[in-house]
């Protein structure tokens, strides 16, 4: 497909500023050209889109999540973490079939598309079904079969992971990337990690793992191994591979040095870390060390959205307040975390997450006609601080439209929401908190 978007304000990926009136040309899966002012003429095979009252941005990159947990959105909130996990989430997850996970993933993708996300990361079960749903949806995704090593004495999940990687790496015209996904140091102890490392040596894909999400995790690690989770992973040899560490909330200076030295990338999930009471990651210190950080939502059971507009604004506000420094994480830095740095954090191809010539044509348009976009002092500031995801009108991945004028084109919303209602009837009714 070929597209010519005209009369649009776009975020230029080279100069990192909004061009207030310009054009972008898409050919097949790639940005063929973009520039200020009127476009050169193109033949009729290029379908024209008016960008009047629209801002054109790269699609957002969600660097951490568990898509099918959308089935547990609002199932239980405001509970202590261990009660929430042990009494509510895990028993409900036990009931999920592969069919359910496919539907839950579709529900999550509807929400992510609706909120301007074009690439997401998943760590969950039934990953072949997830991959098929992603391929059909047109989204881009980084997928890994989540592994609790404590439950895997015969290494079946590692075998499943290897088969998944061999089948799906590069599938969907390159939109699917695979990972090895050991859940966390506390669920994948050092002896299990040696098997993970054996697999990592055979396949050349990145690893994703939760690291130092809670202070309890750190305390337990210190007590068992006399090492922090980061130190323990370093000692295991994991950091010789490409690693995406999710959360990284509770870190020592030595931990951060290790992450920087070994180019471990971090998926920062400010909303989920707040909601679960986990804490607030030391983002400015991570960035000062040159560590690559992307933004993530985590699953919808602990957020309860998959909306990077929310995380974008939150990341730009939260660290200013915590550090009592209004210059911390400025608007531009925040927007990069949701776009180009997110792509880097996931070890994806150069150019993804930017609007530049030759980059993958993954982009969104937002309606800037409402009062929150006035006055026009600074469009970049408005996107970060004044927008919300309801402004998103159009989302394209690899040049293909997934949503046009707020209408989903690749997933049947009505069918998915109906199926979701059917699935959740089997969950035990959890006593609602305060209602």
Q: Binding site for Zn(2+), residues?
A: 64, 66, 210, 298
Contact map string, positions 61 to 100, toward its own copies, x by CB under 8 A: ---------xxxxxx-xxxxx--x----------------
Nearest-angstrom CA–CA distance, 131 and 161: 13
Of 15-44, binders to its own copies (CB under 8 A) are 16-18
Is residue 146 a contact partner of residue 123, using CB atoms and an 8 Å limit? yes
Is residue 61 a contact partner of residue 26, using CB atoms and an 8 Å limit? no
Is residue 99 a contact partner of residue 362, using CB atoms and an 8 Å limit? no
Q: Is 335 helix (H, G, I), strand (E, B) or coil?
A: helix
Q: Is 432 one of the binding residues for its own copies (CB under 8 A)?
A: yes
* 178, 208, 236, 273: residue in contact with its own copies (rule CB under 8 A): 273
Q: Which residues contact 429 (CB under 8 A, 6 or more apart)?
A: none
* 35, 381, 404, 409: residue in contact with its own copies (rule CB under 8 A): 381
Return the structure tokens found at 198: 């054996």
Q: Which residues contact 327 (CB under 8 A, 6 or more apart)?
A: 320
Contact map string, positions 306 to 345, toward its own copies, x by CB under 8 A: -x-xx--xx-xxx-xxxxxxxxx-xxxx------------
* 134, 380, 397, 403: residue in contact with its own copies (rule CB under 8 A): 380
Least distance from C-beta 128 to its own copies, angstroms?
23
Of 111-170, binders to its own copies (CB under 8 A) are 111, 114
Least distance from C-beta 421 to its own copies, angstroms?
6
| Binding site residue list for substrate | 93, 145, 183, 213, 298
Tally Cβ neighbours within 10 Å of residue 298. Answer: 29
Q: Is 267 one of the binding residues for its own copies (CB under 8 A)?
A: no
Query: How far from each other are the two terminal CA atoms of the chain, in whole angstroms?
Result: 50
Question: CB-wise, 30 or 81, nearer to its own copies?
Answer: 81
Question: CB-wise, 202 or 426, nearer to its own copies?
Answer: 426
Count each helix (H run) and each strand (E run) in the chain, helices first.
16, 18
Contact map string, positions 206 to 235, toward its own copies, x by CB under 8 A: ---------x--------------------
Q: Is 274 one of the binding residues for its own copies (CB under 8 A)?
A: yes
Nearest-angstrom CA–CA distance, 348 and 433: 41
The pairing of beta strand 363-367 with beta strand 117-124: unpaired
* 44, 154, 226, 377: residue in contact with its own copies (rule CB under 8 A): 377
* 195, 262, 388, 404: residue in contact with its own copies (rule CB under 8 A): 388
Question: CB-wise, 178 or 364, nearer to its own copies?
Answer: 364
| Binding site residue list | 64, 66, 93, 145, 183, 210, 213, 298
Tally Cβ neighbours within 10 Å of residue 149. Answer: 23
Residue showing tokens 């982009």: 363
Q: Is 285 one of the binding residues for its own copies (CB under 8 A)?
A: no
Least distance from C-beta 281 to its own copies, angstroms?
10
Size of site (CB under 8 A) for its own copies: 84
Least distance from C-beta 242 to its own copies, angstroms?
29
Q: Is 434 one of the binding residues for its own copies (CB under 8 A)?
A: yes
Q: Is 405 one of the binding residues for its own copies (CB under 8 A)?
A: no
Is residue 299 a contact partner of residue 66, using CB atoms and an 8 Å limit? yes
Least distance from C-beta 121 to its own copies, angstroms?
19
Q: Which residues contact 32 (CB under 8 A, 6 or more apart)?
A: 2, 25, 26, 357
Least distance from C-beta 24 to its own copies, angstroms?
19
Question: Could you please report the per-residue DSSP string of 396-408?
Answer: EETTEEEEETTEE
Of 99-118, binders to its own copies (CB under 8 A) are 107, 110-111, 114
Question: Could you please report the per-residue DSSP string of 4-44?
Answer: EEEEEEEEETTTTEEEEEEEEEEETTEEEEEEESSPPP--T
CB half-sphere exposure, 173, CA atoms < 13 A: 14
Question: CB-wise, 255 or 311, nearer to its own copies?
Answer: 311
* 4, 180, 243, 416: residue in contact with its own copies (rule CB under 8 A): 416
Question: CB-wise, 100 or 231, nearer to its own copies?
Answer: 100
Q: What is the largest CA-CA distance in the chain?
A: 68
């Amino acid at each position: 497909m070929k597209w010519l978007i005209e009369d649009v304000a776009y975020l230029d990926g080279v100069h990192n500023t909004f061009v207030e009136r310009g054009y972008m040309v898409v050919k097949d899966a790639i940005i063929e050209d973009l520039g200020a002012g009127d476009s050169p003429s193109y033949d009729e095979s290029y379908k024209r889109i008016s960008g009047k009252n629209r801002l054109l941005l790269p699609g957002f990159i969600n660097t951490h999540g568990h898509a099918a947990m959308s089935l547990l959105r609002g199932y239980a909130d405001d509970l202590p973490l261990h009660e929430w996990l042990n009494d509510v989430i895990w028993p409900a997850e036990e009931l999920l079939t592969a069919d359910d996970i496919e539907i839950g993933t579709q529900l999550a993708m509807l929400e992510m598309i609706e909120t301007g996300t074009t690439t997401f990361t998943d760590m969950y079960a039934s990953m072949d079904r997830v991959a098929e749903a992603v391929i059909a949806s047109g989204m881009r995704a980084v997928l890994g079969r989540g592994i609790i090593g404590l439950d895997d004495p015969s290494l079946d999940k590692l075998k499943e992971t290897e088969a998944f990687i061999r089948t799906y790496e590069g599938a969907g015209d390159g939109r699917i990337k695979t990972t090895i996904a050991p859940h966390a140091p506390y669920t994948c102890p050092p002896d299990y990690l040696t098997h993970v490392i054996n697999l990592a040596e055979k396949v050349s894909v990145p690893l994703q793992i939760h690291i130092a999400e809670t202070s309890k995790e750190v305390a337990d690690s210190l007590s068992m191994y006399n090492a922090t989770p980061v130190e323990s992973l370093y000692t295991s040899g994991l950091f010789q591979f490409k690693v995406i560490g999710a959360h990284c909330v509770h870190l020592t200076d030595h931990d951060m040095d290790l992450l920087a030295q070994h180019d471990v990338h971090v998926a920062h999930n400010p909303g989920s870390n707040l909601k679960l009471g986990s804490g607030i990651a030391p983002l400015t210190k991570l960035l000062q060390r040159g560590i690559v950080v992307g933004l993530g939502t985590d699953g919808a059971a602990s957020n309860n959205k998959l909306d990077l507009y929310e995380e974008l604004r939150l990341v730009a506000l939260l660290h200013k307040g915590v550090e009592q420094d209004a210059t911390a994480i400025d608007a531009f830095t925040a927007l990069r975390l949701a776009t180009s740095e997110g792509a880097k954090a996931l070890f994806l191809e150069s150019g993804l997450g930017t609007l530049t010539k030759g980059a993958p044509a993954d982009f969104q348009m937002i309606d800037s006609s409402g009062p929150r976009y006035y006055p026009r002092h600074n469009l970049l500031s408005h996107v970060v601080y004044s927008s919300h995801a309801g402004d998103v009108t159009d989302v394209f991945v690899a040049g293909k439209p997934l949503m046009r004028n707020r209408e989903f084109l690749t997933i049947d919303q009505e069918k998915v929401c109906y199926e979701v209602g059917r699935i959740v009837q089997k969950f035990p009714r959890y006593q609602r908190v305060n209602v």
